[in-house]
Amino acid sequence: MQPVKIGLLGLGTVGSGTVNVLNRNGREISRRAGREIVIAKAFTRSPEKPRLCPTDNIDLVGDPFQLVEDPQIDIVVELIGGDSPAKELVLRAIELGKHVVTANKALIALHGNEIFAKASEKGVMVNFEAAVAGGIPIIKVLREGLAGNRIEWIAGIINGTGNFILTEMRDKGRDFADVLKEAQALGYAEADPTFDIEGIDAAHKLTILAAIAFGIPLQFDKVYTEGISQVTGEDVRYAEELGYRIKHLGIARRSGDGVELRVHPSLIPERRLLANVDGVMNAVVVKGDAVGPTLYYGPGAGAEPTASAVVADLVDVVRVMTADPEHRVPHLAFQADALSDMAVLPMAEIETAYYLRLSVADRPGVLADIARFLADQGISIEAVIQKEPQPGQAEVPLIFLTHKVKEKSLDAAAAQIESHPAVKAPMYRIRLETLD
Ligand code: HSE
């Protein structure tokens, strides 16, 4: 049988990794796929740049549309990232009846509904395993492995850069900016690192996970997104003192008639496996009603871990490209005409416990006043830490852990607390998740 010909858009870190994995494991991969998979053409903006992979047998082109439109190309692999021209290229490939494999989480989270509708119309596959948690096959898990379950919740460390920063802050007391620079040098961080730090990258990935888990449309604009830039070394140490670790989590949960979609720093008990996922590693816990909690762990970024997911998608496409489109796994796991319109809950309706950090004047009655403001909103305190003032400082940090409460009650208490004359700065809150 003729080899399947791939057009590769992008020869950067992941593109080169894909070429190397296909070169190294080609025989094994074709035994799985049933056909040889060959990278025939690759688009690169800078053909003169030294490559991390051999390109002798690849036709390098400077026009990505020429690659997509080449009739010999069967499958387009999009690894250039970003919005435009990635979206136009993918839509053009679909228009021409070509299957697509992409690692582009922003593209799927923001334009996936449109892309999948077009792909269904044209009877082509658009696979995106590499878009979420790099090498962890979490899309396959949700779309196929757990298809018998009603998924109840997902909680994941789905941004390696953020996890690397929090881990280094905890283990080595390192400075935030210094660790970020290292993550950039190692090739983990997004082109715009605020995507990592402010939770946008994780929100893209959570959008995709939630759609596949619950059978809802992709709704990136409804994800509550908060980054880690306000987490201090002190917070990390207080959390440890209280028996918790701070992790940047993406959480999707069924709640009543709605669904929670949120990305934010979270305290989690230190005995949880997720609390011990360190460095650039990713991990996702999925709770299904039949299987119970399951955990998936692995590298969330990097050349070959991400290429591992890209190549697995290629194998999947090659295996079923001759099958009737209606006999393939649906793009978003659920049949396109069976998606649910379950509402995304506003944060005010979310119920969690909280870690609260305040800076207050060290005067009699301040702690009692704050405790009363919390009690007025029905917020029960689980633990309090108040340290001695540092020499020369009139203010002291005051830390509370609360029991579970609706966010709107905490907002009401926060308004009262912040108006107290002894409270010197806005109260910082970190949600606490027990993950049980
Ligand atoms: N910037 C991402 C991360 C890369 O740090 O996890 C993988 O999506």
Instruction: List Cβ neighbours of 306 (8 Å cut-off, separation of 6 or more).
Output: 13, 14, 17, 103, 130, 134, 135
Q: Are the CB atoms for 77 and 310 separated by under 8 Å?
A: yes
Residues 292 and 356 reside in one and the same domain:
no
| 344 within some domain | no
Active-site residue identified among 205, 222, 247, 287: 205
Most distant CA atoms of the chain, gap in Å: 83
| 173 within some domain | yes
Residues 27 and 176 reside in one and the same domain:
no
Q: Which atom of ligand 1 is nearest to the CA of 205?
A: 8
Torsion sign across C-alpha atoms 222, 224, 227, 230: positive
The domain that contains 237 carries what CATH number?
Answer: 3.30.360.10
Question: If you take atom 7 of ligand 1, which residue's CA is the nearest one?
Answer: 301
118 catalytic per annotation: no
Instruction: List Cβ neighbours of 135 (8 Å cut-off, separation of 6 or more).
Output: 298, 299, 300, 302, 304, 305, 306, 308, 309
Residues 125 and 190 reside in one and the same domain:
no
Residues 149 and 266 reside in one and the same domain:
yes
pLDDT at 394: 82
**What's the 339 CA to ligand 1 centre distance in angstroms?**
28
| 37 within some domain | yes
Tokens standing for residue 207: 């959008």
Q: Which atom of ligand 1 is nearest to the CA of 159?
A: 6
pLDDT at 177: 85
| 345 within some domain | no
pLDDT at 183: 84
Q: Are the CB atoms for 250 and 263 separated by under 8 Å?
A: yes
Residues 51 and 68 reside in one and the same domain:
yes
**What's the 189 CA to ligand 1 centre distance in angstroms?**
6
| 343 within some domain | no
Report the DSSP pairing between strands 405-406 and 258-269.
unpaired
- pTM of the predicted model as reported, rounded to 2 decimal places: 0.96
**What's the 262 CA to ligand 1 centre distance in angstroms?**
18
| 243 within some domain | yes
Three-state DSSP class for residue 83 = coil
Q: Are the CB atoms for 81 and 11 separated by under 8 Å?
A: no
Ligand 1, pocket residues at CB < 6 Å: 134, 159-161, 188-190, 196, 201, 300-301
Structural domain including 421 reads 351-432
Domain total in the chain: 3
The parts of the chain modelled with pLDDT lower than 70 are none
Q: What percent of the chain has pLDDT over 90?
A: 88
Residues 196 and 281 reside in one and the same domain:
yes
Residues 164 and 295 reside in one and the same domain:
yes
Residues 12 and 84 reside in one and the same domain:
yes
